[in-house]
Copies of this chain bind each other. A is one copy, B any other.
Amino acid sequence: MNQMTSETLMPDKAAGPGNSVSTEETHDLISSDKVDGTAVYSTDGEKLGHVDHLMIGKRSGQVKYAVMSFGGFLGLGESYHPIPWDALDYDTQRDGYVVAIDKAKLHDAPYYTGDSPPVFDANFGAGLYRYYGVFY
């Protein structure tokens, strides 16, 4: 077994150009155990809440929903808003996500509380994607 060294990790690093690209890619990945807490903003830059967890396809490895927690937002206790992945844009400057719907519509979006998670099935997904106006 070879423990990773700079040589085994970055076989082409000596080639020189491309380091900035490498840095970007590094910053473009996030660990599944660090995603909790990533900020979510409205389109006008207001911080709305944070990502609690992601729902990921076991086979595809594709994130399908980001489940957001809004905490005190709207005067509720702990509530979870599943957002279709395609309804989120990643903002590199803020290192957070932006929901491309207005606050009133987010206010009316489906949510659940900690003791009653939904069944994330096809009908659920289709309804949610329809609500957020993205293709299922």
Contact residues, A12-46 vs B (CB, 8 A): 12-13, 18, 21-23, 25-33, 35-36
- A31: chain B residues at CB < 8 Å are 53-56, 67
- A4: chain B residues at CB < 8 Å are 110-112, 116, 118
- A62: chain B residues at CB < 8 Å are 61-63
Q: Are the C-beta atoms of A28 and B119 separated by less than 8 Å?
A: no
Partner of A123, one of B11, B29, B32, B119: B11
Closest CB of chain B to A34's CB: distance in Å? Answer: 8
Interface positions of A (Cβ within 8 A of B): 1-4, 8-13, 18, 21-23, 25-33, 35-36, 52-59, 61-65, 67, 74, 76, 85, 90, 107-113, 116, 118-127
